[in-house]
Structure 1
Amino acid sequence: MKVEVLDHANLMQAAEFIAKMNILPECHIGYLGTSQNDIFQSLEEMNRDAESAAFIVREGDALAGFLGADADLNKGTAELWGPFGQENELMGLLWEKALHFFEGKLHTYFLFADTANHDAAEFASKNGFMLQSAQTYMELKDNSFNGLRKVSLLPIHCHSAFIRLHDALFPQTYYSGKEIIERMNDYYKVYTSLDADGLNGYLYAEYNREEKEGSIEFIGVDPCKRKNGIGRNLLEMAVHDLFVNSGANSIKLCAGTANEKALSIYKKAGFTVERSLNFYKFDIRE
């Protein structure tokens, strides 16, 4: 079977193929949505991104396999959208194509798959991916918090303190403190908690206007200031702002399954568990 690079003419067919699979726990990949429209928009963005690429396998006129690589050439990393396929052989072909395509440009690949996706687990095991952590995906579909909330956003004079705190708490994550500051706008916000000593905690959230969906990306609290309710206050602030001021219909987040304290806080805030996922990493250098 021949593996092809996905082009613009095949985006809708690919979105339809992925949507039928990604809604199923046994096929689900965490970097993509489950609606065909969401997936199509993601594929359009990937198609416009000169650094990234996607690959397909056909059986006649129908798609039989798909794998996308959302790449960051500066970091040498990529998030894998897939592999999706009905046979392990197809997954292997797609992976070989991706490795060859990005040879010399990428060194690390990330895979985020539902715990029920045993094909992804087998693919990861066969190809040298290492399980990094188990993650719990949660969602809040109504505003559980009543009353007004004062919204405190990151002031300019706290930028350096934020970068230090974020990079110390999350030293090897997908956005550095500097990158988050560069992303900040009316829809990508850093909510903050301040005291006499300065910044003691923050929450970074993003809002998708088209989908009316908020996502909480990071919550960080100064280790010396924990157990004072800072995280919960930040969560209440962000949830209120996303629902009331931005107009979100839902808010999602992902937390480490082993972090029982954080999961308890989110559940008390009204978040419900939607999926459990495994996070894998493949590093050519290791």
Structure 2
Amino acid sequence: MKAEILDHANLMQASEFIAEMNALPECHIGYLGTSQNDIFQSLEEMSRDAESAAFIIREGDVLAGFLGVDADLYKGTAELWGPFIQENELMRLLWEEALHYFEGKLHSYFLFSDTSNHAAAEFASKNGFMLQSAQTYMELKENSSNGFRKVSLLPIHFHSEFIHLHDSLFPHTYYSGEEIIDRINDDHKVYTFDDADGLNGYLYAEYNREGKEGSIEFIGVDPGKRQKGIGRNLLEMAVHDLFMNSGAKSIKLCAGTTNGKALSIYKKAGFKVERSLNFYKLEIREKEQ
């Protein structure tokens, strides 16, 4: 039995396999949804991405294991979509195949799994991943926006202030301030709160038109301007815009499990806890690959 590259002909079978497993807390991986259609679309995008790859193991005609590597070769990083397995021994085969395939090209791997996914936790421990944080996944499914709310978006003259604030609050995160600026469009927005002193806070959100789903990615407030309700106002602004102007049916976010103040704000805004996840990171030297 050995791992092989997932080809386009097997995307439907793989999406069925992942959807069945990812619906279970004990198997859940946070980078993928639970809808088979959404997962199929994600696998299609991965199959068209020359930098990424997915690996499967079969037992006869039955799919017994899957591991996707959503890679960014420029950064040298990758998110792991899995491992999804029927037997623990298959994890080793999938991981060894992935490491061999990306040998010398990647230095950081990220794993985001449900706290109930003990198999993923064991995989992380055995392979040198370090637990970075615990995250609480929340979702708002009802339009809680009350009436008209002015929407303030990041103007060009605040770009440098935004980059400085974001990079100081969230160093080494998945999007730098400059990367967020480059992503801004009708569906990727930076909401702002400012006064005569300049930029006091911001919220970066993305909207998925196909899924009619919004996601709150970052909320940042100048440390000297906290305890003034800025974060709450930014959240209300983004929720209003996503529901009323973009047409979102739901809004999702992740917050640090230990960040009680932020969780309290989100709960008061109507967000409900959906699941808790652990974020792991592996730094790997080239010679180890």
State whether TM-score is above 0.5: yes
1:133 match: 133
Separation in 1 of the partners of 2:189 and 2:257? 25
> 1:192 & 1:213 partners in 2: Cα distance?
21
2:179 and 2:129 map into 1 onto residues whose CA distance is 27
Aligned-pair CA distance for 1:145: 2.5
In structure 2, the residue matched to 1:31 is 31
The equivalent of 1:86 in structure 2 is: 86
CA–CA separation in structure 2 for the residues paired with 1:136 and 1:177 = 24
Partner of 1:46: 46
Specify the alignment match of 1:57 in structure 2: 57
Q: What whole-Å deviation, never above 9, does each CA across 1:67-111 have from its counterpart, x for those lacking one?
A: 001111111110000000011110111001111110100011000
Supply the RMSD in Å over aligned alpha carbons: 0.9
Distance 1:125 1:211 in 2: 35
Distance 2:204 2:136 in 1: 18
For residues 7-58 of structure 1, what are the alpha-carbon distances to aligned partners after superposition, in whole Å with 9 as ceiling and x for unaligned? Answer: 1111111101000000000000000000000000111111111111110000
Tell me which residue corresponds to 1:7: 7
Instruction: Tell me, in whole angstroms, the C-alpha distance in 2 between the residues paired with 1:95 and 1:35.
Output: 25
Aligned match of 1:108: 108
C-alpha distance after superposition, 1:184-219 (max 9, x if no partner):
100010000111011110000000000000000000
Secondary structure at the aligned position of 1:103 is classed as coil
Using the alignment, how far apart are the partners of 2:276 and 2:162 within structure 1?
Answer: 30
| Letter aligned with residue 44 of structure 1 | E
Distance 2:138 2:96 in 1: 33
Show the counterpart of 1:183: 183
Counterpart for residue 211 of structure 2: 211
Hey, what does 1:20 align to over in structure 2? 20
Unaligned 5+ segments in structure 2 are none
Deviation at 1:146, TM superposition (A): 0.6
Whole-angstrom distance in 2 between the partners of 1:48 and 1:179:
22
Q: Is the aligned partner of 1:70 residue 2:42?
A: no
Distance 2:61 2:272 in 1: 40
| Aligned residue identity for 1:103 | E
Q: Is 2:230 the counterpart of 1:238?
A: no
| Paired letter, 2:60 | G
Question: Match for residue 201 of structure 1?
Answer: 201
Secondary structure of 1:190's counterpart equals strand
**Matches of 1:46 and 1:197, distance apart in 2:** 44
1:197-247 Cα distance to aligned partner (Å, 9 max, x none): 111100000000000000000000011111100000000000000000001
Q: Distance in 2 between matches of 1:24 and 1:202?
A: 35
Task: Quote how far apart the aligned CAs of 1:282 are.
Answer: 0.8
Counterpart code for 1:244: M
- How many residue pairs get aligned? The number is 286
| 3-state DSSP of counterpart to 1:45 | helix
In the aligned structure 2, how far is the partner of 1:180 from the partner of 1:43?
25
Percent identity of paired positions between Structure 1 and Structure 2: 85
C-alpha distance in structure 2 between counterparts of 1:144 and 1:166, whole Å: 28
Q: What letter is aligned with 1:56?
A: I
Q: What is the one-letter code of the residue matched to 1:203?
A: L
Alpha-carbon distance between aligned partners in 2 of 1:88 and 1:125, rounded to the nearest angstrom: 14
